Chain A
Amino acid sequence: MIARPNPRLQATTSRLEGLTLPEGGSWARAARSAALARVEGMGLPVRRDEYWRFTDPQGLVTPEPMPAAPLPEEEAPAFAEVEALRLVFVDGRFDPQASDPLDLDGLEIERLADVADRDIHWAQGLYGVLESEGQNPVLRPLAALNSAFATDGIVIHVTGAVSRPVHLVYRHEAADSDAMLHHLVRVDAGASLTLLESGPAAARFNSVVEVDLAEGARLHHVRTQGRDHDRRTATHIFARLADEADFRSFTLTFNGVLTRNEAVVWLNGDRAVAHLAGAAVGDGDFHHDDTVFVTHAAESCESRQVFKKVLRNGATGVFQGKILVRAGAQKTDGYQLSQALLLDERSQFLAKPELEIYADDVKCSHGSTAGAIDETALFYLRSRGVPESDAKDLLTLAFLREALQEIPDARLAEDLAGRLEGWLARRR
């Protein structure tokens, strides 16, 4: 009998061959071996997987990354005006020299590499725990791969009032860099934090953030993914919310040949709120995928998804968003919107919005549209003297603004709006 080649097994074996499980203290070794066992059990994703129907995972799983030329750093990098605790990672490695000291009132902040060497640490109750839980009902092998092999990242425990945001700055310097970062954020009852991330990180970047919010805890997360065109990125955010916790996450993506951003959120406590939003712009071989899974497991929770993409010159946008309302999650308020603005006929938007509801007293709505620039609005602007290309930019920005409005801090929203204007102006 001739064995048929198994693409998943092949991809998994050849990827794992080049990797060694990092050393570490006892909890970290245990967590990483368990994650490796998960990866071996499920195998890495292949194109024929239902969850990867619209996005080819190939570039994310090959043993070596495809090279990506780094762009010189921007003159005014994102959030440069925001006073924050800045922590710099170069090609996925923490750079203490370039970073602020790991010290901020109201929180304990450590490097994963240090935490993992300890024999006991609170991180063991979170590291790989939400990721593992997030493997059901849909497999997310790249996140398990990250839990097994990531050596760096930031571990934050928010205990009180924090005066400044924490800003993770990701620099990409080597054309063949292959980075994995794993961050943990635990916010105690009533405490709150703003977490910023910016930059392209590496030629290939795999990131996992696990977020645990206690009663009334709040995390505002805003990130921009860099402008480097050839980079490939897979990110996962896993967030678990207790009663009245509040989680907001916004992602702005410029360019990138392959980006897959997954968010997995559990509303486990009553009256918890989660808002997930994103704006993405790209052209040519740009491929951008937002994959979201929100589970309502408690009463009177609110979830909101607002994702917008501007696609041109044959770019591809993907949205897979699911709201699962468990039995007993009464008074759920779920909202989901995904829209693409297609600036030409070669660009495409593939959307799979899903609702799965097992409670009877819920309010859930979803909408997904793809369309061109509104010709009537375009003519109206031109009839007032606005040149066609300016009018198109104005309408494009207006389209994206609905997503930007999801950012609670207006200053951050304006910073990102300015960046989008710049992108539109450069790309004329």
Chain B
Amino acid sequence: MLDIRNLHVELEEDAKPILKGLDLSVGAGQVHAIMGPNGSGKSTLSYVLAGRDGYTMTEGTAHLGDIDLLALEPEERAAAGLFLAFQYPVEIPGVGNMTFLRTALNAQRKARGQEEVSSADFLKLVRAKASSLKIDADMLKRPVNVGFSGGEKKRNEILQMAVLEPRMCILDETDSGLDVDAMRLVSEGVNALRDEGRAFLVITHYQRLLDHITPDVVHIMANGRIIRTGGPELAREVETNGYADILAEAQ
């Protein structure tokens, strides 16, 4: 599903290298987790995949299925089925959450040559998804993320994912800032979407999320590369021992 080969990325601003030959392959139906010390480049990887400005790709490739992701505009990547739940969801004053969701859904459908969803169908769809995430009607009416608590913002990201039904979902620290109940809701939201045709890349610092969303593969990222790959037990190892041993071993 997602295939990243030898990806090298620098900041456009000062040519500082951030990703230094990253390889990662996530198969359809799988959940992969990425853990790693602060500043190792996890969010940069997610932004680069989503198509944010400000980076230069100096080497390597990234494919979604057989689509060359790096050649597409951000909106084209979204229409192709890529979704990033942001580490820091953005507030957009003046744009209602519902308008935002409907504009996004219909834009993607249009790009894929599908018909727009009617207002009534859309309302039904959003209400159903929102209630399972315990997002109330008031939050849907408010401007996108404005005045939302940290946890509400994260749940709103999952709502967008549930409505847009992407096939490749990247979750950047969606668990941070969530209370225990919200963590369960979000995990259930993710698990409900797990199926053959969909894959997840879950960036997290904590084993706790992975108790709810059991990963197939766990990667450790440091200094712009994947330095170790293993099963769910790797996350538990990090939880107890930290990164010191793994980092030392990779040196």
Chain A interface residues (CB < 8 Å from chain B): 375-377, 379-388, 390-391, 394-395, 397-399, 401-402
Contacts and interface: CB of A to CB of B under 8 A. Distances in A.
Contact of B160 (A379, A384, A391): A384
A394 B75 CA distance: 15
B79 A398 contact: no
Interface stretch (B21-29, B100-108, B192-200): B100-108
A385 B107 CA distance: 6
B226 interface: no
A226 B45 CA distance: 49
B53 A375 contact: yes
Contacts of B105: 385
B90 A380 contact: yes
A384 B90 contact: no
11 contacts: A380-B89, A382-B74, A383-B83, A383-B84, A384-B78, A384-B164, A386-B107, A387-B73, A387-B111, A394-B95, A395-B94
Q: Is the interface of A mostly helix, strand, loop or mixed?
A: helix
Interface of B: 50-53, 73-75, 77-79, 83-84, 86, 89-95, 99-100, 103-105, 107-108, 111, 143, 160, 164
Contacts of A387: 73, 75, 107, 111
B86 A380 contact: yes
A383 B95 CA distance: 16
Nearest to A399: B94
Given A376-B90, A377-B90, A398-B95, A383 B108 contact: no
A399 B143 CA distance: 12
Contacts of B86: 380
B12 to A, nearest CB: 13
Contact of B94 (A375, A390, A401): A401
B90 A388 contact: no
Contact of B104 (A385, A388, A395, A399): A385
Contact of B75 (A376, A377, A382, A398): A382
Contacts of A399: 94
A185 B229 CA distance: 78
A99 to B, nearest CB: 38
Contacts of B111: 385, 387
Contacts of A398: 92-95, 143
Most B Cβ at <10 Å: residue of A381, A382, A383, A384: A384
A130 B74 CA distance: 56
Contact of A385 (B75, B94, B143): B75
Contacts of B95: 394-395, 398
B100 A381 contact: yes
Contacts of B83: 383
Contacts of A388: 73, 75
B100 A382 contact: no
A362 B89 CA distance: 38
Contacts of A402: 93-94
